[in-house]
Structure 1
Amino acid sequence: MDKIIISPSKYVQGENVLGSIASYVKALGANPLAIADEFVTGLVGETVKESFAKEDMPLAMDVFNGECSRVEIDRLTDICATQKNDVIIGIGGGKTLDTAKSVAFYTKIPVVVVPTIASTDAPTSALAVIYTPEGEFAEYLLFPKNPDMVVMDTKIIAGAPVRLLVAGMGDALSTYFEARANMTSGKSTMAGGALTRSAQALAKLCYETLLEDGLKAKVAVENGVSTTAVENIIEANTYLSGIGFESSGLAAAHAIHNGLTKLEECHHLYHGEKVAFGTLVQLVLENAPMEEINTVLNFCRSVGLPTNLFDMGVKEINKDKLFAVAEGATAEGETIHNMPFPVTAQSVFAAILTAHQLGQ
């Protein structure tokens, strides 16, 4: 199997970089469409419009409806075709960005991804997570290439609610452990080949950065300031985790997340909050040393990530519902089958209950 590492064509990170976004976008197209939800449009819409006005470029904007579903992708694809847009800009959270990537794929135009939060590693990936209009996981959509550009305005990201940055840490937390599982199993990664030493190194650096700077970054953002730790965590949550997961592979943690979307009590949680618990379940599933499990538990507690089902909003342990979660996590084609041993719904069910107990 060939070794493959993939990444965005350009990654830009800096304070107030959104004010000069047009200077970066003009290299890709002359008739852009920007999508953002109502809140993000209110937050950064004027800054983006002013940037394009300075460059004497047109800009069409449309309001994203909040769910990365086939219905929304089709709606925006039609708009792009009608307006003859030649580049799409997604501004906001993971679902907005995944929608922009999907529209770019179907219309065959470049995409610029502009996260306003660092809550997932979605921005850099050649992948979108498609949900039903009701918010249940439906499918992964794989693209032939990564985004043409990722633009991270650290001032805006640091100004977002701290819970979002912490959720990004939860998503990034799984990167090293899922990479390690794929390295052991030898399974193909999301990049379509064997993992490289470079991707392994990025995945490990991601985990080390979280342990070193996670709590410091959380405290800084709680106080409305950006520090070196915040900059490092934004890079870890986005670039290190993004390249790390995609070129090193997903395994149990993200499959557990997908299973948890079947629990109505967990619908209020962010992606990374569910992935953090999925990471604990993966460590139990592979019978990791207790010292390692405790390190992860302590990290989660220090930054406020859930470590048990009660933390996630579950009121009582319903074993039938949890077995349905385990069945969802082990469905055919799920990434849990990248683990270096056979995984069944029964073994996942047992790991969920054990992780829940250890995390209390």
Structure 2
Amino acid sequence: MKVTVGPAQYIRNLDLLNEAGTYIKNFGKSAALIGGHTSLGIVEDSIRKSLSLVGASLLPSIWYGGESSETNINRLAEQLKSQNIDVLIGTGGGKAIDTVKAVAYKLNKPLVVIPTIAATCAAATPISILYSDEGEFIGIGRESKAPELVLVDSTIILKAPVRFLIAGIGDTLAKWFETRATIQKAEPNALNQTAIAIAAQVYKTLLQIGHEAIQSVESQSLTKAFEDVVDAIILVSGSVSGYGGDDCRTAGAHAIYSGLTIFPECHQTYHGEIVAFGILAQLCLESKTEELTDLIQYYKEIGLPFTLEQMGIKELTQQQWKKLGEITVTIEDMANMPFEVTPEMVIEAVQQADEIGKESLSVPL
């Protein structure tokens, strides 16, 4: 049995980047920084200065390429393999971090991750979600490594647009609904029972203080609720699949997310926002529509989408519906559901969730 629960070390603090070099130097004296354009602009100067203070150096920063794709992963690995680098540093959101995790695996280098938004648990998992160069979901990459160190600067996360935190809540909510479904196929043991308990607690935490954490970002005031939700999104949710392994993987919600990425209209909708809608569709697949009302009310309270139109999809042709159903059932996440799912079931579930969502638009908070 092999278990990779998450990163070896996780540190969160205010203005943490000012002392990042103190931690990064433990992995060597030369580093390469890879990430998104915005994230590089936020962190590079602080990291370079902090490293110089401890006698370490930083190569010129590198843009990750815009998608967590094989093209970008291979390009970066080829670009860096001849460089004198002791440690890789990945920064940004989920796609940037997943890209660097795969590059670190290929180069067999230590990895430090500095998320600049709390939108996914990518920083705490040993897998990479792979997309085409155009942004369509391809699959889950196992040739990826869990970071040796995750540095979370609370100041940076607090200053990020609030929509990222809302999307992170949406993605993290799915841990409970998907783990509850996938574990039905597993024989109970210490690890998967721990995973489902963590998933339940994370769900409870988000329902209780998610809105307060969002208000913290809107008012730019650091609160315990904000810090707890950040930890829940980035670290704790990643440990669910870490402990549960194949017994507690993503399922219908993420499969439906992946299917919806075939439509360019929703490419401006964040991962966690689409996953949140995927939860609603998964509940319809499971004939648990009685849970939708309360969940949609929570979505309305914090700003998550609950209709297709809210994600930019105004109308689909019969052929597009057919394609959505056919592609969604090929996503490996869907195989984790405790029953066989057909394309027709996917179409019906998405349409039903959308209809319930549209009916909820007229219901006051």
Provide TM-score, normalisation by structure 2. 0.92
| C-alpha distance 213-21 of structure 1, shift in aligned 2 (>3 A) | same
Per-residue deviation, 1:78: 1.9
Match of residue 39 from structure 2: 40
5 Å-filtered alignment, 1:211-360, equals 211-246=207-242, 247=244, 248-288=248-288, 290=290, 292-331=291-330, 334-360=332-358
Q: After superposition, what is the alpha-carbon deviation per residue over 1:95-117, rounded to whole angstroms, capped at 9, x for unaligned? A: 11011101100011111111000
2-side partners of 1:50 and 1:284: how far apart?
52
2-side partners of 1:187 and 1:330: how far apart?
24
RMSD: 1.9
Q: Which runs of 5+ in 2 are unaligned?
A: 359-365
2-side partners of 1:187 and 1:68: how far apart?
34
Conservation of the 8 A alpha-carbon contact between 2:33 and 2:90 = yes
2:29 counterpart SS class: coil
2-side partners of 1:210 and 1:100: how far apart?
28
Per-residue deviation, 1:179: 0.7
1:205 aligns with 2:201: yes
2-side partners of 1:187 and 1:321: how far apart?
38
Match of residue 50 from structure 2: 51
| Amino acid in structure 2 at the alignment position of 1:344 | T
2-side partners of 1:170 and 1:212: how far apart?
14
Q: Which runs of 5+ in 1 are unaligned?
A: none
Conservation of the 8 A alpha-carbon contact between 1:4 and 1:196 = no
2-side partners of 1:77 and 1:198: how far apart?
36
Per-residue deviation, 1:63: 2.6
1-side partners of 2:2 and 2:353: how far apart?
34
2-side partners of 1:157 and 1:319: how far apart?
42
Conservation of the 8 A alpha-carbon contact between 2:4 and 2:126 = no
Conservation of the 8 A alpha-carbon contact between 2:20 and 2:50 = yes
Match of residue 153 from structure 2: 153
2:239 counterpart SS class: helix
Match of residue 140 from structure 2: 140
Q: Which moved more, 1:194-203 or 1:339-348?
A: 194-203
2:26 counterpart SS class: coil
2-side partners of 1:57 and 1:168: how far apart?
33
Per-residue deviation, 1:317: 4.1
| Amino acid in structure 1 at the alignment position of 2:23 | Y
Q: Which moved more, 1:348-357 or 1:201-210?
A: 201-210
| C-alpha distance 187-43 of structure 1, shift in aligned 2 (>3 A) | farther
Q: After superposition, what is the alpha-carbon deviation per residue over 1:170-200, rounded to whole angstroms, capped at 9, x for unaligned? A: 1001001111111112289xxxx99522222
Per-residue deviation, 1:3: 8.9
Match of residue 99 from structure 1: 99
| Amino acid in structure 2 at the alignment position of 1:283 | L
5 Å-filtered alignment, 1:16-165, equals 16-60=15-59, 61-143=61-143, 145-165=145-165
**Structure 1 stretches of 4+ moved >4 Å:** 2-5
Conservation of the 8 A alpha-carbon contact between 1:187 and 1:194 = no
2-side partners of 1:39 and 1:325: how far apart?
32
2-side partners of 1:3 and 1:288: how far apart?
34
1-side partners of 2:30 and 2:49: how far apart?
15
Per-residue deviation, 1:28: 2.0
Per-residue deviation, 1:35: 1.0
Conservation of the 8 A alpha-carbon contact between 1:186 and 1:194 = no
2-side partners of 1:270 and 1:54: how far apart?
37
Q: After superposition, what is the alpha-carbon deviation per residue over 1:74-126, rounded to whole angstroms, capped at 9, x for unaligned? A: 22112321212121000111111011101100011111111000011111111
